[in-house]
Chains A and B, each alone.
Chain A
Amino acid sequence: MGEAAVGNADVARVPDERVPTVVVDDVHVTYRVYGRGGAATSPAAALRRLVTGKRAPTIREVHAIKGVSFAAFEGEAIGLIGSNGSGKSTLLRTIAGLLPPNRGAVYTKGQPSLLGVNAALLSDLSGERNAMLGCLAMGMSRAEARRLVPEIIEYSGINERGDFASLPMRTYSSGMAARLRFAIASVKSHEVLLIDEALATGDAKFRARSEERIKRMRDAAGTVFLVSHQISTIRDTCQRTIWLEAGLIRMDGPTGEVVDAYERFTRGG
């Protein structure tokens, strides 16, 4: 497919005054998946493999991104759509610098922040302590973190039905946990914010509130990437959309056009 060239042609057209925040240049990502046991995992077998250097039969390589190129600019909100397993989440992780590309390179302005449903905090600890840890992990000072924790708890709304902030996170519903994670990650202003389905589990009220915050971040000259299976969310928040299919860009353009084509594709196939 010649779709990867779409990104390049796009950049050539762009006048230089637009400032890029993320440049993805012919990126390939392959990662290893370790099987879930089944084959020999006994200590003796492990020792034998260590000595012979043989790879366990349970390891498989997945070529998740197969040459993706595009540039994102200041003030843009870009939706990422595609079927399950098309490489959307992998691409976001690569942009965030968390999953290194095997070929090609990603250039970013500042440090992008990824906000995903899988962002595992410590489930045995209270929401409050997790908020504190999250702030420190984003590089804040202790005083700054302490000042922001009440704000995070307030914004997440987890205390609306009783004092949940002091309970361990394993007692939270998936929606509550997602809200807390979004509240933690969005407390800091980011130049590039990557959101992976994070809003899908919140209720309507929280979704409205988070869309508001995404708009504010975009206005502050940041760039927002949003992965979602909810086409309505993409239509509401993003002007540009990239459609990924099997690790390649199928289409890249104004949200209206891309989403219409995607919907025709999913209905047809």
Chain B
Amino acid sequence: MAETTVTRHHTATPLRQLAARHGLTVAGARPSLPAYARKLWAYRHFIAAYANAKLVASFSTARLGQLWQVLTPLTNAAVYYLIFGIILNTRHGVDNFIAYLCTGLFVFTFTQAVVQQGTQSVISNLGLIRALHFPRACLPIAVMLTQFQTLVAAILVLIGILLASGEPITLEWLLLIPTLFLQSVFNVGLALAMARLGAKLTDLKQVIPFVMRTWMYASGVLYSVQNFEQHLPPLAATLVEANPLLIYIELARHSLMESVVLVSPVPQLWLLAVGWALLVGLGGFIYFWRGEQEYGRG
């Protein structure tokens, strides 16, 4: 919409000529994609400071403060283990079910939180957007960074659970780093895309919980991934196997656990993980940039 407003106005009014003579530029014009990326880089300190500030602010009224960063994943793990590991007993075929469950849960929660807060990142910051001029992509990127810090706390909890449940420390654990890096790139793209969608479709907030729950069931978080092959028709099983979250979860499990059943061979998993990160990361960035001028309108 905003792109056409400028081009439609080609008649040279006296005011337009005056502006052109003195080299004035269109207020709030969208920079080119490389210029936008450079501008974002120049604002990296703001992004980092904002992400930190959000994290501190989210615990500022809780008495236990930042301790919740550790308590939340612990409680989550306990609840899911009680229901799925003990009461429903979905563990069949998995040796170390608690480690299996927690790895999937924490990796999934990272993306889930980024999607939920990314959707809100533009619409809930309209005050800031209408007051100050900064590349708007700072906000969804900061959401990802805030959640990444939460993930780091969850990973520390996870390492405790892994060691307590008898997993040995191996060099393969280091593969978790590239896995989470690729997932972070994927998440940035997702946060950017959801931020633009959420700014226009204010109803999206109501729908996201359903979408994320469905996505969770399709990502083999709560039960063994073998269920997919055994119970789904081949086409659906192939679709589920291409699910990016399942891929990141599988890679995380593969790197942290000794014996774990995977749905796809490991090289194929890495290839898909890189592909998804590039596709969603770049696609989300370009999609968000194209709407840059409109975010103030609400």
Are A96's CB and B133's CB within 8 A?
A: yes
Are B18's CB and A23's CB within 8 A?
A: yes
Contacting A46 at CB < 8 Å: which of B8, B29, B207?
Answer: B207
Given known A-B contacts A25-B16, A34-B202, A108-B27, A16 and B21 have beta carbons under 8 A apart:
yes
Are B133's CB and A32's CB within 8 A?
A: no
**Residue on B with the closest CB to A114?**
B131
Interface centre among A7, A23, A93 (most CB of B within 10 A): A23
Q: Say whether B86 faces chain A, with CB atoms less than 8 Å apart.
A: no
Given known A-B contacts A12-B14, A43-B206, A133-B53, A108 and B25 have beta carbons under 8 A apart:
yes
Contacting B133 at CB < 8 Å: which of A47, A107, A111?
Answer: A111
Given known A-B contacts A32-B297, A43-B207, A47-B206, A124 and B133 have beta carbons under 8 A apart:
no
**Residue on B with the closest CB to A134?**
B132
Contacting A23 at CB < 8 Å: which of B24, B45, B298?
Answer: B24
Q: Say whether B128 faces chain A, with CB atoms less than 8 Å apart.
A: yes
Shortest distance in angstroms between B126's beta carbon and chain A's nearest beta carbon?
8
Are A71's CB and B18's CB within 8 A?
A: yes
Are B27's CB and A95's CB within 8 A?
A: yes
- How far, in whole Å, are A118 and B130 apart by their CA atoms in the complex? 9
Main secondary structure of the interface of A (DSSP, over half): mixed
Q: Mark B19-37, 1 if CB is under 8 A from A, else 0.
A: 1011111111100000000
Interface centre among A101, A114, A141 (most CB of B within 10 A): A101
Shortest distance in angstroms between A11's beta carbon and chain B's nearest beta carbon?
6
User: For residue A216, which residues in chain B have a CB less than 8 angstroms away from its CB?
Assistant: none
Q: Say whether B68 faces chain A, with CB atoms less than 8 Å apart.
A: no
Contacting B130 at CB < 8 Å: which of A32, A93, A109?
Answer: A93
Q: Say whether B283 faces chain A, with CB atoms less than 8 Å apart.
A: no
**Residue on B with the closest CB to A103?**
B5
Q: Say whether B61 faces chain A, with CB atoms less than 8 Å apart.
A: yes
- How far, in whole Å, are A156 and B61 apart by their CA atoms in the complex? 26
User: For residue A113, which residues in chain B have a CB less than 8 angstroms away from its CB?
Assistant: 132-133
Interface centre among A26, A105, A114, A145 (most CB of B within 10 A): A105
Are B49's CB and A100's CB within 8 A?
A: no
Shortest distance in angstroms between A122's beta carbon and chain B's nearest beta carbon?
6
Q: Say whether A129 faces chain B, with CB atoms less than 8 Å apart.
A: yes
Shortest distance in angstroms between A72's beta carbon and chain B's nearest beta carbon?
11
Which residues, 89 to 138 on A, are CB-close (under 8 Å) to B?
93-109, 111-116, 118-122, 124-125, 129, 132-134, 136-138
Q: How many residues of A contact B (CB 8 A)?
A: 68
Q: Say whether B217 faces chain A, with CB atoms less than 8 Å apart.
A: no
Q: Say whether A56 faces chain B, with CB atoms less than 8 Å apart.
A: yes
Are A109's CB and B24's CB within 8 A?
A: yes
- How far, in whole Å, are A57 and B267 apart by their CA atoms in the complex? 51
- How far, in whole Å, are A31 and B130 apart by their CA atoms in the complex? 13
Contacting B19 at CB < 8 Å: which of A23, A96, A98, A101?
Answer: A23
Q: Say whether A41 faces chain B, with CB atoms less than 8 Å apart.
A: yes
User: For residue B205, which residues in chain A have a CB less than 8 angstroms away from its CB?
Assistant: 46
- How far, in whole Å, are A121 and B127 apart by their CA atoms in the complex? 8
**Residue on B with the closest CB to A7?**
B15
Are B46's CB and A136's CB within 8 A?
A: yes
User: For residue A132, which residues in chain B have a CB less than 8 angstroms away from its CB?
Assistant: 49
Top 3 A-B residue pairs of the complex, sorted by shortest distance between their CB atoms? A97-B28, A120-B127, A119-B131
| A residues lining the B interface (CB < 8 Å) | 7-8, 11-12, 16, 19-26, 31-32, 34, 41-43, 46-47, 49-50, 56, 69, 71, 93-109, 111-116, 118-122, 124-125, 129, 132-134, 136-139, 141-142, 145, 168
| B residues lining the A interface (CB < 8 Å) | 1-2, 5-6, 8-9, 13-16, 18-19, 21-29, 42-43, 45-46, 49-50, 53-54, 56-57, 60-61, 125, 127-134, 201-207, 209-210, 293-294, 296-298
- Since A116-B131, A124-B56 are in contact, a sample of 11 more A-B pairs with Cβ atoms closer than 8 Å, ordered by chain A residue number, is A16-B21, A19-B22, A23-B24, A31-B297, A93-B130, A98-B28, A107-B27, A118-B127, A119-B131, A133-B50, A137-B132
